[in-house]
């Protein structure tokens, strides 16, 4: 039986997911200078929401994780 700790991504996984989300946000705004901090903060919010809503977890595969993040950001 999986516990709550088994579900929650590791600190490293969370950081990687935030970096992916921040990249997608920067890409969406054309990588214009001056928005990296806002991209990172928004990425943290999106990833933390996805984790809380159990849309991504420790066991979500890398490709599935990236696709889920990209899809979530379409509506962010």
- Give average pLDDT by consecutive 10-residue segment, the chain, 76 residues: 74 95 96 96 96 89 89 81
Residue 50 lies inside a defined structural domain of this protein: yes
Range of the domain at 19: 10-73
Rg (CA), the chain: 13
Residue 32 lies inside a defined structural domain of this protein: yes
Residue 61 lies inside a defined structural domain of this protein: yes
Q: Give the count of domains, the chain.
A: 1
Residue 4 lies inside a defined structural domain of this protein: no
Residue 69 lies inside a defined structural domain of this protein: yes
> What is the reported pTM?
0.86
4 vs 24: CA distance, rounded Å:
28
Residue 42's pLDDT is 97
**How many CA atoms, within 13 angstroms, populate the side-chain half-sphere of residue 6?**
3
Residue 61's pLDDT is 87
Residue 1's pLDDT is 55
Q: What is the DSSP letter of 10?
A: P
Residue 3's pLDDT is 65
């Amino acid at each position: 039986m999986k516990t709550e700790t088994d579900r929650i991504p590791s600190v490293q996984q969370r950081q990687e997911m935030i970096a992916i989300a921040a990249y997608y946000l920067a890409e969406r705004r054309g990588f214009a200078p001056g928005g990296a901090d806002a991209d990172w903060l928004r990425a943290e919010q999106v990833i933390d929401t996805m984790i809380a809503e159990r849309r991504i977890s420790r066991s979500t595969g890398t490709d599935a994780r990236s696709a889920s993040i990209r899809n979530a950001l379409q509506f962010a």
